[in-house]
Chains A and B, each alone.
Chain A
Amino acid sequence: MCMAENFTDAPWRQGALGNQQKGIEMIAVTRSCSKCGNEKTLTDFYRAGLQCRKCVSSVKAVYRAANSEKISASKAKWRSANKEKVSASGKSYRAKNAESIAFKNKAYAKANPEKISAMGARYRANNPERVARKAAMNAGMAPDWLVAYRLTMYSKILKPKDVPVALIETRRSVILLKRLIRGTNNEKR
Protein backbone atom coordinates (compact mmCIF):
# COMPACT_ATOMS: atom_id res chain seq x y z
CA MET A 1 0.00 0.00 0.00
CA CYS A 2 1.51 3.32 -1.03
CA MET A 3 1.48 6.40 1.15
CA ALA A 4 -1.20 8.14 -0.91
CA GLU A 5 -3.69 5.37 -0.18
CA ASN A 6 -3.23 5.90 3.54
CA PHE A 7 -4.24 9.55 3.40
CA THR A 8 -6.72 9.73 0.53
CA ASP A 9 -9.52 11.32 2.56
CA ALA A 10 -7.38 14.02 4.20
CA PRO A 11 -8.23 17.51 2.96
CA TRP A 12 -4.60 18.47 2.52
CA ARG A 13 -4.09 15.48 0.20
CA GLN A 14 -6.56 16.69 -2.41
CA GLY A 15 -3.88 18.64 -4.28
CA ALA A 16 -1.52 15.70 -4.38
CA LEU A 17 -4.30 13.38 -5.53
CA GLY A 18 -5.18 15.85 -8.24
CA ASN A 19 -1.60 15.77 -9.45
CA GLN A 20 -1.63 11.98 -9.46
CA GLN A 21 -4.85 11.96 -11.46
CA LYS A 22 -3.27 14.32 -13.94
CA GLY A 23 -0.39 11.85 -14.32
CA ILE A 24 2.20 13.91 -12.51
CA GLU A 25 4.51 11.60 -10.61
CA MET A 26 4.98 12.52 -6.95
CA ILE A 27 8.52 11.75 -5.86
CA ALA A 28 8.06 12.66 -2.20
CA VAL A 29 4.90 14.01 -0.53
CA THR A 30 5.91 16.76 1.86
CA ARG A 31 4.41 19.83 3.43
CA SER A 32 5.67 22.62 5.65
CA CYS A 33 4.86 22.94 9.34
CA SER A 34 2.87 26.07 10.24
CA LYS A 35 4.91 26.47 13.45
CA CYS A 36 8.53 25.65 12.68
CA GLY A 37 8.21 26.17 8.92
CA ASN A 38 10.29 23.11 8.08
CA GLU A 39 9.43 20.97 5.10
CA LYS A 40 8.52 17.50 6.36
CA THR A 41 7.07 14.25 5.05
CA LEU A 42 3.40 13.47 5.69
CA THR A 43 4.28 10.86 8.28
CA ASP A 44 5.67 13.69 10.41
CA PHE A 45 2.17 15.18 10.70
CA TYR A 46 -0.99 14.02 12.42
CA ARG A 47 -3.83 13.18 10.07
CA ALA A 48 -5.34 16.64 9.72
CA GLY A 49 -2.73 18.69 11.56
CA LEU A 50 -1.07 21.86 10.36
CA GLN A 51 1.84 21.54 12.79
CA CYS A 52 4.36 18.70 12.68
CA ARG A 53 4.33 16.01 15.37
CA LYS A 54 7.44 17.45 16.99
CA CYS A 55 5.90 20.93 17.30
CA VAL A 56 2.60 19.53 18.60
CA SER A 57 4.53 17.54 21.16
CA SER A 58 6.52 20.58 22.31
CA VAL A 59 3.36 22.72 22.56
CA LYS A 60 1.71 20.03 24.69
CA ALA A 61 4.80 19.72 26.89
CA VAL A 62 4.78 23.48 27.51
CA TYR A 63 1.08 23.38 28.38
CA ARG A 64 1.60 20.43 30.75
CA ALA A 65 4.46 22.22 32.48
CA ALA A 66 2.44 25.41 32.89
CA ASN A 67 -0.77 23.70 34.01
CA SER A 68 0.46 20.65 35.94
CA GLU A 69 -1.75 21.37 38.96
CA LYS A 70 -4.84 21.94 36.82
CA ILE A 71 -4.18 18.71 34.92
CA SER A 72 -3.59 16.62 38.02
CA ALA A 73 -6.71 18.05 39.69
CA SER A 74 -8.75 17.25 36.60
CA LYS A 75 -7.35 13.71 36.49
CA ALA A 76 -8.02 13.19 40.20
CA LYS A 77 -11.59 14.43 39.72
CA TRP A 78 -12.11 11.98 36.86
CA ARG A 79 -10.59 9.11 38.82
CA SER A 80 -12.83 9.77 41.84
CA ALA A 81 -15.87 9.92 39.56
CA ASN A 82 -14.89 6.71 37.73
CA LYS A 83 -13.49 4.52 40.47
CA GLU A 84 -14.90 1.33 38.96
CA LYS A 85 -13.35 2.04 35.57
CA VAL A 86 -9.98 2.81 37.16
CA SER A 87 -10.12 -0.35 39.25
CA ALA A 88 -11.12 -2.52 36.28
CA SER A 89 -8.45 -0.99 34.10
CA GLY A 90 -5.75 -1.56 36.72
CA LYS A 91 -6.91 -5.12 37.29
CA SER A 92 -6.88 -5.85 33.58
CA TYR A 93 -3.43 -4.31 33.16
CA ARG A 94 -2.01 -6.28 36.08
CA ALA A 95 -3.50 -9.51 34.72
CA LYS A 96 -2.11 -8.91 31.23
CA ASN A 97 1.30 -7.78 32.41
CA ALA A 98 1.80 -9.92 35.51
CA GLU A 99 5.18 -11.24 34.36
CA SER A 100 6.67 -7.90 33.37
CA ILE A 101 5.37 -6.27 36.58
CA ALA A 102 6.90 -9.03 38.70
CA PHE A 103 10.18 -8.72 36.80
CA LYS A 104 10.29 -4.94 37.22
CA ASN A 105 9.36 -5.16 40.92
CA LYS A 106 12.07 -7.74 41.50
CA ALA A 107 14.64 -5.62 39.67
CA TYR A 108 13.60 -2.53 41.62
CA ALA A 109 13.78 -4.39 44.95
CA LYS A 110 17.25 -5.65 44.08
CA ALA A 111 18.44 -2.18 43.09
CA ASN A 112 16.80 -0.38 46.04
CA PRO A 113 16.92 -2.63 49.13
CA GLU A 114 17.04 0.38 51.48
CA LYS A 115 13.93 1.95 49.97
CA ILE A 116 12.07 -1.37 50.18
CA SER A 117 13.11 -1.80 53.81
CA ALA A 118 12.02 1.75 54.66
CA MET A 119 8.73 1.21 52.87
CA GLY A 120 8.08 -1.94 54.91
CA ALA A 121 8.91 -0.15 58.15
CA ARG A 122 6.58 2.70 57.22
CA TYR A 123 3.78 0.26 56.42
CA ARG A 124 4.26 -1.62 59.70
CA ALA A 125 4.20 1.66 61.65
CA ASN A 126 1.06 2.90 59.90
CA ASN A 127 -0.84 -0.42 59.92
CA PRO A 128 -0.18 -2.19 63.23
CA GLU A 129 -3.59 -3.95 63.17
CA ARG A 130 -3.07 -5.41 59.71
CA VAL A 131 0.45 -6.51 60.62
CA ALA A 132 -0.83 -8.20 63.79
CA ARG A 133 -3.57 -9.93 61.79
CA LYS A 134 -1.08 -11.21 59.25
CA ALA A 135 1.28 -12.35 61.99
CA ALA A 136 -1.57 -14.28 63.62
CA MET A 137 -2.43 -15.73 60.23
CA ASN A 138 1.15 -16.80 59.63
CA ALA A 139 1.36 -18.29 63.08
CA GLY A 140 -1.55 -20.58 62.25
CA MET A 141 -3.58 -19.05 65.05
CA ALA A 142 -5.98 -17.25 62.78
CA PRO A 143 -9.60 -17.30 63.90
CA ASP A 144 -12.18 -18.84 61.57
CA TRP A 145 -13.55 -15.49 60.49
CA LEU A 146 -10.12 -14.32 59.40
CA VAL A 147 -9.39 -17.44 57.35
CA ALA A 148 -12.85 -17.15 55.80
CA TYR A 149 -12.21 -13.49 55.06
CA ARG A 150 -8.91 -14.32 53.38
CA LEU A 151 -10.62 -17.02 51.33
CA THR A 152 -13.27 -14.63 50.07
CA MET A 153 -11.47 -11.29 49.85
CA TYR A 154 -11.06 -11.47 46.05
CA SER A 155 -14.46 -13.00 45.36
CA LYS A 156 -17.37 -10.87 44.22
CA ILE A 157 -19.86 -13.63 45.02
CA LEU A 158 -18.74 -15.24 48.27
CA LYS A 159 -18.97 -13.74 51.71
CA PRO A 160 -17.06 -15.08 54.73
CA LYS A 161 -20.24 -16.55 56.22
CA ASP A 162 -20.74 -18.68 53.08
CA VAL A 163 -17.48 -20.60 53.56
CA PRO A 164 -17.97 -24.12 55.00
CA VAL A 165 -16.06 -24.99 58.16
CA ALA A 166 -14.28 -27.89 56.45
CA LEU A 167 -12.82 -25.53 53.88
CA ILE A 168 -11.63 -23.16 56.60
CA GLU A 169 -9.94 -26.01 58.48
CA THR A 170 -8.21 -27.25 55.33
CA ARG A 171 -7.02 -23.77 54.42
CA ARG A 172 -5.61 -23.39 57.92
CA SER A 173 -3.62 -26.62 57.48
CA VAL A 174 -2.13 -25.24 54.26
CA ILE A 175 -1.25 -22.00 56.05
CA LEU A 176 0.53 -23.93 58.80
CA LEU A 177 2.52 -25.98 56.32
CA LYS A 178 3.49 -22.92 54.29
CA ARG A 179 4.63 -21.19 57.45
CA LEU A 180 6.88 -24.13 58.33
CA ILE A 181 8.28 -24.21 54.79
CA ARG A 182 9.07 -20.50 54.99
CA GLY A 183 10.68 -20.95 58.38
CA THR A 184 12.81 -23.85 57.13
CA ASN A 185 13.90 -21.86 54.08
CA ASN A 186 14.83 -18.88 56.26
CA GLU A 187 16.93 -21.09 58.54
CA LYS A 188 18.92 -22.37 55.56
CA ARG A 189 19.81 -18.83 54.39
Chain B
Amino acid sequence: MKNAEALRASLSAVFAKLQAGEIKPSEAAELANLGGKMINSAKVQVEYYALRKEVPKIAWLEQELEG
Protein backbone atom coordinates (compact mmCIF):
# COMPACT_ATOMS: atom_id res chain seq x y z
CA MET B 1 0.00 0.00 0.00
CA LYS B 2 1.99 2.90 -1.32
CA ASN B 3 -0.53 5.59 -0.50
CA ALA B 4 -3.83 6.35 1.19
CA GLU B 5 -5.78 5.55 -1.99
CA ALA B 6 -4.24 2.07 -2.14
CA LEU B 7 -5.13 1.54 1.50
CA ARG B 8 -8.71 2.62 0.85
CA ALA B 9 -8.88 0.25 -2.14
CA SER B 10 -7.65 -2.61 0.06
CA LEU B 11 -10.16 -1.72 2.75
CA SER B 12 -12.97 -1.68 0.18
CA ALA B 13 -11.87 -5.06 -1.18
CA VAL B 14 -11.81 -6.56 2.30
CA PHE B 15 -15.18 -4.97 3.00
CA ALA B 16 -16.66 -6.69 -0.06
CA LYS B 17 -15.05 -10.04 0.80
CA LEU B 18 -16.34 -9.88 4.35
CA GLN B 19 -19.85 -9.07 3.15
CA ALA B 20 -19.68 -12.06 0.79
CA GLY B 21 -18.42 -14.27 3.61
CA GLU B 22 -15.18 -15.05 1.81
CA ILE B 23 -13.02 -14.08 4.75
CA LYS B 24 -13.36 -14.26 8.51
CA PRO B 25 -14.09 -11.15 10.60
CA SER B 26 -10.79 -11.74 12.43
CA GLU B 27 -8.87 -11.46 9.14
CA ALA B 28 -10.72 -8.27 8.24
CA ALA B 29 -10.01 -6.93 11.72
CA GLU B 30 -6.30 -7.39 11.05
CA LEU B 31 -6.46 -5.09 8.02
CA ALA B 32 -8.67 -2.59 9.84
CA ASN B 33 -6.10 -2.56 12.63
CA LEU B 34 -3.25 -2.12 10.16
CA GLY B 35 -5.18 0.72 8.50
CA GLY B 36 -5.57 2.40 11.86
CA LYS B 37 -1.82 2.13 12.44
CA MET B 38 -1.04 3.70 9.05
CA ILE B 39 -3.52 6.51 9.66
CA ASN B 40 -1.98 7.18 13.06
CA SER B 41 1.49 7.27 11.58
CA ALA B 42 0.31 9.77 8.94
CA LYS B 43 -1.35 11.75 11.71
CA VAL B 44 1.98 12.01 13.54
CA GLN B 45 3.50 13.46 10.36
CA VAL B 46 0.62 15.95 10.10
CA GLU B 47 1.22 16.88 13.76
CA TYR B 48 4.88 17.48 12.99
CA TYR B 49 4.01 19.93 10.23
CA ALA B 50 1.34 21.60 12.39
CA LEU B 51 3.92 22.07 15.13
CA ARG B 52 6.26 23.74 12.63
CA LYS B 53 3.33 25.78 11.28
CA GLU B 54 3.95 24.45 7.79
CA VAL B 55 1.60 23.04 5.17
CA PRO B 56 1.82 19.23 5.36
CA LYS B 57 3.79 17.59 2.54
CA ILE B 58 3.19 13.90 3.01
CA ALA B 59 3.81 11.71 0.00
CA TRP B 60 1.55 8.99 1.34
CA LEU B 61 -1.39 11.42 1.30
CA GLU B 62 -0.38 13.62 -1.64
CA GLN B 63 -0.20 10.80 -4.17
CA GLU B 64 -3.83 10.17 -3.50
CA LEU B 65 -4.71 13.81 -4.19
CA GLU B 66 -2.92 13.74 -7.54
CA GLY B 67 -4.80 10.63 -8.66
Smallest Cβ-Cβ distance to A176: which chain B residue: B15
Question: How far is B43's CA from A27's CA once the two chains are assembled, in angstroms?
Answer: 67
Known A164-B58, A167-B61; contact A184-B18, beta-carbon cutoff 8 A: yes
Q: B25 to A181, Cβ gap below 8 A?
A: yes
CB pair B50 A185 closer than 8 Å? no
Interface residues of B (CB under 8 A from A): 4-5, 7-8, 11-12, 14-15, 18-19, 25, 28-29, 31-32, 35-36, 38-39, 42-43, 46-47, 50-51, 56, 58, 61-62, 64-65
Residues of A bordering B, CB below 8 Å: 151, 155, 157-159, 162-167, 169-171, 173-174, 176-178, 180-181, 184-185, 188
Minimum Cβ distance to chain A for residue B52 (Å): 10
Cα distance, A145 to B43, chains bound together (Å): 16
Determine whether the beta carbon of B8 is less than 8 Å from that of A167.
no
Inter-subunit contact A177/B32 (CB<8 Å): yes
Given the interface pairs A171-B39, A174-B36, A177-B11, the reply to whether A158 lies near B46 with Cβ below 8 Å is yes
Closest to B15 in A: A177
What are 24 contact pairs spanning A and B, CB under 8 A?
A155-B43, A158-B46, A158-B47, A162-B50, A163-B43, A164-B58, A166-B61, A166-B64, A167-B43, A167-B46, A170-B4, A174-B35, A174-B36, A177-B14, A177-B18, A177-B28, A177-B32, A177-B35, A178-B32, A180-B15, A181-B32, A184-B25, A185-B25, A188-B25
Are A173 and B11 touching (Cβ within 8 A)? Answer: yes
Majority DSSP secondary structure for residues of A touching B: helix
> Judging by beta carbons under 8 Å apart, are B18 and A164 in contact?
no
Shortest CB–CB separation between residue A46 and chain B, in angstroms? 48
A158, A166, A170: which contacts B65 (Cβ < 8 A)? A166
Cα of A127 to Cα of B62 in the assembled complex, Å:
38
Complex: A188 Cα to B42 Cα, angstroms: 34
Among A159, A169, A177, the one with the most B-chain Cβ atoms within 10 Å of its Cβ is A177
What is the minimal beta-carbon distance from B31 to any residue of chain A, in angstroms? 7
Residue picked from B12, B25, B29, B51, most chain A C-beta under 10 Å: B25
